[in-house]
Amino acid sequence: MPVSSSSGFRPGQWLERRIPVLVVSPLFALSLFFVYGFILWTAYISFTRSGVMPVYDFDGLAQYERLWSTPRWYVAIRNLFVFSGLFIAISMAIGILLAILLDQRVRGEGLIRTIYLYPMALSFIVTGTVWKWILNPGLGIERLMREAGFESFRFDWLIDGDRAIYTLVIAGVWQSSGYAMALFLAGLRSVDDEVLKAAAIDGAGPWRTYTGIVLPILRPVFLSTVIILAHLAIKSFDLVVALTGGGPGYATDMPATFMYAFAFQRSELGVAAASATMMLATIVAIIVPYLYSELRQTGR
Amino acid sequence: MTNFTKLMAAGAVACLPLGSPALADGTVEVLHWWTSGGEAKALGELKSAFEAQDGTWTDSPIAGGGGDAAMTALRARVVAGNPPTAVQLKGPGIQEWAEQGALNDVQHVATDEHWDDVLPPVLAEIMKYDGKYVAAPVNIHRVDWMWGNPDLLEQAGVTQMPTTWDAFNAAADKLMAAGITPLAHGGQPWQDATLFEDVVLGVGGADFYRSALVDLDAAALRSDTMVASFDQLRKLRGYVDPNFSGRDWNLATAMVMRGEAAFQIMGDWAKGEFLAAGKVPGEDFTCTPTPGNGFVLNADSFTFFKVSGEPNLRGQQVLASLIMSPDFQKAFNLAKGSIPARTDVPLDDFDICAQRSHEDLLKATENGTLVPSMAHEMAVPRSVRGEFLDLVTEFFNSDMSSQDAVNRLADAAARAM
């Protein structure tokens, strides 16, 4: 029972003031433990010699040395940058283009918008499986073209170790550019008509209007689109598993699939924890400056 | 926890005079990932044999990821202090768990039943930790099989089955000239590694295989013989059709069956695919060992975890004894397509490929040419195997030179040790 020495204490008021804290605290405690607790646990495991089972004797940076001398890790890191860069850039470019075209008050806009947005409703597993069939030289486009009479047609990126990573970009862009379009379209619609009319009166053509006025106004939309697409790219695990299985060889390995392979297939918890910690560090390095600048702006 | 198990044990003893059959011959919980067709049927043999002795069998199948999901579950249960009685676990994985102190031994069953006399010594060694049996093998798979389509071979004029890799290359060139894909292969890391280890055995012989892929001797890994092995693997890459990437092994088997390719190099689980399609060994398909006069061994086994309490312990002993009983070994392997791990089980009811496998096994044991499979987790820890698979599969899918591959193989072994 709460006891208070202050004469003005009333239980009802105390409860009223505390109730939000009381309601939120179990959730807070759970996420503190299960998210941040296990981040710390993983970080600690990365400094031990854990193999099939976790061990808790401190072992210094051995697992990181091991990680950074593994060729497969470099492939995973390079793939992450190639994939994220192309995926974000192309999705946004297509998204903006579609949004601008749709913004010209075309007929049947609702239908077209739905069609472009529809891939987003599929899971990456479905996208990956379908594109695996389309891109397989023996089943998909290559065979179709050859049967149509183009005997020398070649499109075998899926089984080419140097190009397979681009097939992931193709499937990812197909899935996500409609979503980018929707975000930009919402942004375009929020641009004040008065501004556009003023531009028209000043004699600005459509190119000038978009590059000089509309796109700068959309800056916050760009930022949120980048953040959403970037986290899709960094999380991309299911798309890789479904489309290429990390292959040919391990040519399309990503840090997430690398970590899974080491933790669950090879009984190397230590190396897996080290790679997870490196991924976290990468994300923190990207997100913290962004959060800092955002918070500073809103705190103004 | 201990009080609870004591209570359970006391309860079990108390039940005995009342003649409760459920606890009379122990309880087991078996964690495994044999959930598909022939495998599930094979395991069903063990379950019914155990229940015929009035035991209580709890089935814990955890499918997915070729056992990865089951291993994750196992880890969680061992950490929680509640391990299953027996787990489908093989090779050096057994040693890894034994080093954690997580296993029970079944040595006195093994001594009573003379396991040492009936198991090939190479296999017995893998089942033991500290000189005591902690696991029991259910079967032996041979990895170095070459499955052939006799019609295609005849068509291309290949009359003799190749017994050296040079002869294989000559036969493959003839097939290529006749417009036939020589080798059906699926481009998955473990399949690439299966080719690789069969090549190493054929090029370097059993002693070289052992020092390179089992003992991880740096000199052997960097030797010219290993360079020659990679050269041969590069040749095999040229005999594969262009769409091999990511293909499952059973689809490659189907290519041989349908006459789209002449050979497949794969373990004897491929035989199950032929038989399931109603093909007759020796007529519709041929089985020949890959060059090298050796025997690459892969065996499934059940490993006994540290359970406590009278019914569990007794169940564990009964299970160990049952797994090694000749009747079960025969029934299980007829269903699964492998051969018994016990070498004294008559193979009259088995097909000619299995009989050949058994003969060669005895011969290889005698000559010291029986080697454990690297690709199938029998020879080296999973960490080393993983590094080897990465390298072999990268070599197979790129234009890396054999010399680079050898250097990187040795580096990988050193890194993962």
CATH of the domain at B77: 3.40.190.10
What average pLDDT does the segment B151-157 reach? 92
B163 in the same domain as B118: no
- Report residue B8's pLDDT band, with 50, 70 and 90 as the boundaries: very low
Cβ–Cβ gap B242/A159 under 8 Å: yes
Of the partner residues A69, A249, A268, the one whose CB lies closest to the CB of residue B383 = A268
Distances B167 to A1, A95, B160, B227, B322 between C-alpha atoms, Å: 90, 58, 9, 19, 44
Q: Which residue of B has its CA nearest to A62?
A: B415
- Token pair listed for B358: 């058994």
What average pLDDT does the segment B204-226 reach? 93
What's the fold here for domain A74-273?
Answer: MetI-like fold (1.10.3720)
User: Is the minimum CB–CB distance between B407 and chain A shorter than 8 Å?
Assistant: no
d(CA B246, nearest CA chain A) in Å: 7
- Chain A positions touching chain B (beta carbons under 8 Å): 51-54, 66, 69-72, 136-138, 156, 158-159, 161, 244-245, 247-251, 261-262, 264-268
B217 in the same domain as B313: no
B155 in the same domain as B131: no
CB B100 within 8 A of CB B44: no
Alpha-carbon distance of A281 to A275, in angstroms, equals: 10
What average pLDDT does the segment A9-27 reach? 83
Residue B23 included in any domain: yes
Taking alpha carbons only, the member of A122, A67, A87 closest to residue A234 is: A87
Give pLDDT, residue A298: 60
Percent of chain B scored above 90 by pLDDT? 56
Alpha-carbon distance of A265 to B89, in angstroms, equals: 13
Of the partner residues B242, B382, B396, the one whose CB lies closest to the CB of residue A137 = B242
> Which chain A residues are within 8 Å of B96, Cβ to Cβ?
51-52, 267
What average pLDDT does the segment A248-269 reach? 86
Report how far apart the first and last C-alpha atoms of chain B are (Å, whole number): 37
Using the structure block, give the residue that is written with the tokens 């790219």.
A233
- Token pair listed for B223: 């030797």
Q: Which residue of B has its CA nearest to A269?
A: B383
- Report residue A223's pLDDT band, with 50, 70 and 90 as the boundaries: confident
Cβ–Cβ gap A250/B390 under 8 Å: yes
B108 in the same domain as B96: yes
Q: Is the pLDDT of residue A5 over 70?
A: no
Of the partner residues B75, B96, B398, the one whose CB lies closest to the CB of residue A161 = B398
Cβ–Cβ gap A249/B396 under 8 Å: yes
Give pLDDT, residue B61: 87
Give pLDDT, residue A51: 81
Cβ–Cβ gap A247/B396 under 8 Å: no
The average confidence (pLDDT) of chain B is 87
Note the pLDDT tens digit of each residue in B30-59: 999 887 767 788 888 889 888 988 889 998
Residue B361 included in any domain: no
User: Is the minimum CB–CB distance between B47 and chain A shorter than 8 Å?
Assistant: no
Q: Which residue of B has its CA nearest to A272?
A: B383
A110 or A82: whose pLDDT is higher? A82
B24 in the same domain as B133: yes
B234 in the same domain as B179: yes
Distances B242 to A138, A164, B258, B381 between C-alpha atoms, Å: 9, 15, 17, 32
Of the partner residues A159, A251, A265, the one whose CB lies closest to the CB of residue B68 = A265
d(CA B376, nearest CA chain A) in Å: 13
> Which chain A residues are within 8 Å of B387, Cβ to Cβ?
70
d(CA B255, nearest CA chain A) in Å: 14
Distances B16 to A125, A177, B12, B56 between C-alpha atoms, Å: 54, 69, 6, 15
Percent of chain A scored above 90 by pLDDT? 27
Lowest mean pLDDT segment, chosen from A23-37, A207-221, B9-23, B228-242: B9-23
Pairing between β-strand B141-142 and β-strand B145-148 as defined by DSSP bridges = unpaired
Cβ–Cβ gap A159/B187 under 8 Å: yes
Q: Domain range holding B310?
A: 2-140+299-352
Taking alpha carbons only, the member of A175, A172, A179, A177 closest to residue A252 is: A172
SS3 A51: coil
- Report residue A117's pLDDT band, with 50, 70 and 90 as the boundaries: confident
- Report residue B359's pLDDT band, with 50, 70 and 90 as the boundaries: very high
Cβ–Cβ gap B415/A158 under 8 Å: no
- Partnered with residue A48 across adjacent β-strands are A58
B101 in the same domain as B173: no
Cβ–Cβ gap B245/A266 under 8 Å: no
> Which chain B residues are within 8 Å of A52, Cβ to Cβ?
75, 93, 96-97, 100, 382
B316 in the same domain as B281: no
Q: Where are the beta strands (DSSP E) in B4-140?
A: 27-32, 56-61, 86-88, 128-129, 132-133, 135-137
Q: Is the pLDDT of residue A249 over 80?
A: no
- Contacts of residue A94, defined as CB under 8 A and 6 or more positions apart, other chains included, come to A173, A177, A180, A181
Pairing between β-strand B295-298 and β-strand B370-372 as defined by DSSP bridges = parallel
pTM here is: 0.79
Q: How does DSSP assign B91-102, residue by residue?
A: THHHHHHHHTT-
CB B288 within 8 A of CB B145: yes
Alpha-carbon distance of A209 to A211, in angstroms, equals: 6
B188 in the same domain as B248: yes
- 3-state helix vs strand vs coil in chain A, percent to 5: 75, 0, 25
Give pLDDT, residue B64: 67
Q: Which residue of A has its CA nearest to B192?
A: A249
User: Is the minimum CB–CB distance between B276 and chain A shorter than 8 Å?
Assistant: no
Residue B21 included in any domain: yes
User: Is the minimum CB–CB distance between B6 and chain A shorter than 8 Å?
Assistant: no
Give pLDDT, residue B269: 87
- 3-state helix vs strand vs coil in chain B, percent to 5: 55, 15, 30
> Which chain B residues are within 8 Å of A158, Cβ to Cβ?
245
What average pLDDT does the segment B276-290 reach? 90
Q: Where are the domains of chain A?
A: 74-273
- Contacts of residue B146, defined as CB under 8 A and 6 or more positions apart, other chains included, come to B161, B263, B264, B265, B287, B288, B289, B290
What average pLDDT does the segment A266-271 reach? 87
Give pLDDT, residue B19: 37
B14 or B210: whose pLDDT is higher? B210
B337 in the same domain as B240: no
Report how far apart the first and last C-alpha atoms of chain A are (Å, whole number): 43
Give pLDDT, residue B44: 87
CB A179 within 8 A of CB A95: yes
> Which chain A residues are within 8 Å of B68, Cβ to Cβ?
264-265
- Report residue B66's pLDDT band, with 50, 70 and 90 as the boundaries: low
Count up the domains in chain B and report the number: 2
CB B342 within 8 A of CB B329: yes
- Report residue B16's pLDDT band, with 50, 70 and 90 as the boundaries: very low
- Report residue B14's pLDDT band, with 50, 70 and 90 as the boundaries: very low
Q: Is the pLDDT of residue B258 over 90?
A: yes
Give pLDDT, residue B337: 80
Cβ–Cβ gap B381/A138 under 8 Å: no
The 10 Å Cβ neighbour count of residue B10 is 12
Q: Is the pLDDT of residue B10 over 60?
A: no
d(CA A242, nearest CA chain B) in Å: 11
Distances A152 to A136, A230, B244 between C-alpha atoms, Å: 16, 38, 19
Cβ–Cβ gap B243/A159 under 8 Å: yes
Q: Which of B390, B399, B415 is most worth mutating to test chain A (most A CB atoms within 10 A of its CB)?
A: B390
Q: Is the pLDDT of residue A218 over 90?
A: no
Dihedral, CA of residue B246, residue B250, residue B255 and residue B257, to nearest 10:
180
B86 in the same domain as B42: yes
B379 in the same domain as B252: yes
Note the pLDDT tens digit of each residue in B70-87: 888 888 888 888 899 999
Q: Is the pLDDT of residue B6 over 60?
A: no
Of the partner residues B96, B385, B394, the one whose CB lies closest to the CB of residue A250 = B394
Cβ–Cβ gap B390/A72 under 8 Å: yes
CB B292 within 8 A of CB B197: no
Chain A to chain B, count of Cβ pairs less than 8 Å apart? 89
Q: Which amino acid is at A52?
A: V
